[in-house]
Each structure stands twice: as C-alpha cells, then as structure tokens.
Structure 1
C-alpha cells in the first residue's frame, strides 16, 4: 500500500515536513487561456472594457494570487517568492480569440512553486472573466496546466505545450 505524504499516522491530514529538504533555485511555469469572442477581444485590445484595463488588473491579480497560494490551498507551504512574471498572448481561432496566459514563478527554497504558478494563472483567467462577463458570459477558461518546473529532488519536468 502506498505511503501518502499528506496523512499522519492516524490517517489525518498533515502538512509535509520540509525541514530536511535542501534549498535550491526553483522555477515553475504554468499556462491557461481564456477563449473570448471578437467583441471582447477588440474591447480588451482597445482598453474600452468599462471596468478598466483588463490585462493590467489580471496581471496584478495573478501576482497577488501567487503570493497568497498557501492561504488558498490547504497543504501548501508559505514560501518566499523571488519573482513572478506574467505574459499575455493572443491566438486567433476562427471567429474566436484565445488569450494565452503564461506565468513564471521563482524561489530559492525547500519546496517548489508549481502551485503558485498554477494559482496565479487561474486568478489571471478568472479576473479576465470577471472584468468581461458583462459583455459576454460565454467565455471559456482552460486548459490550465504546468508547462515546466525545475529544482528540487524530483528534478526537472517539461511537457509538450498544447497551447502555443
């Protein structure tokens, strides 16, 4: 029977002890996307959404989310984040437009930043949805996934990227 790391000897939830883990430079890159119609794309591009600059607000939301991941995800350790970078790119798909959100998070520590990158990407997408939902509620968020991670005892991970 496998030994689960997030359960104590009584079978109750616990936060993993990272005391003995070696510090290393760690990086995680996550992606998500928001599929919007041409009208929303144009309004974001022209900065004419009534709530304000959608991408600027989404970027701040993503950075804030990365810093608050431990408060949102029960078993995540609060960690010192040394950097968060968020990039936005547009991909045209027939009559729709996909806003691709790429988040990179860095730290030097004893645990990785995959959850911080995924949380930041999700918060960015949700913020875009919130700011544009008055125009069209039919937006689609996702997929959301880890693109790569480096550092730590489990080594590096890189997936082929389904969203370019």
Structure 2
C-alpha cells in the first residue's frame, strides 16, 4: 500500500493524540522524500500534534514554515497554533495570532476567541478578556463556560483591586 498525504495526515493526528509530537514532525518532514507535497492540512495536523504536547514554539515554527513553503494558512492551522500558545501561557502570542487571523480575513470562531480568552484569564489579563468577550458578542459568537468561569474567577481575585 502506497503512502498518501491523507494517510500521513491521519498518522500525524494519531501521533498528536498519543503524545508523539516528535514522530509527527518526522512524518511531516518525510513527506517531501516520499514525493508528497505537504498541504495546509498536513501542517494543521502537525501543529495540532504540537498543541496536544504543549510544544508551542514548534507550533509557531510550523505555522511560519507553511507560508515559507508557499502555502496560505487557514483558520484550522491558526486555531491550533492559538491553542498551543494558550497552553504555554503566552496570552500575548495568542492575541497576536487572533489579530493576524483578522488581518488576513480568516474566519474566527468560538474556538479562536475562547483560547485567547483562556490565555488572558490564566495570566491576569481579565480586562482584555472582557474586551474579547465583547468582540465575540458583536460577531454573534458564544463563549464557552470555561472562558466565562476563568474570567469571573480573575475578576473576583483582582478586579475589585483595580489590577
């Protein structure tokens, strides 16, 4: 059976689920040697594997690399990168990626905003989180319960003190 892009993408996704982020990177790297051209889906699968393993620097590297290779990022790749940097506690990078999506006119979603809001809430940036909740409302997006809960907790701890 010949390896295809689809089968390698599925393997990278499985690697992400199993915590085998290095193997996902190796599979992505092996595609060109197999005369397969990685697509945005391939990169998204690899970025998701990095997100699952909290390897946010690699997620950002892959997001940049896909464009160096002449591909255009999409919402799936960006959302995976946002989730990766959120897990790494980098609210600033999460917000930057969200703003990058908007600048490129990529579709933002509840997933995009919720990950940035969580990153803000976990890093005492609750006021920014409230701004993002307001943006979500304007876009008719519904935040998840975890986003509300984290922001409420931060406000209770710090909001009344003016921080």
TM class by shorter chain equals under 0.3
Higher helix share: 2
**Which protein has the bigger strand share?**
1
TM-score by length of 1: 0.26
What is the TM-score of this pair, normalised by structure 2? 0.26
Query: Highest relative contact order (Cα 8 Å, sep 6+), 1 or 2?
Result: 1
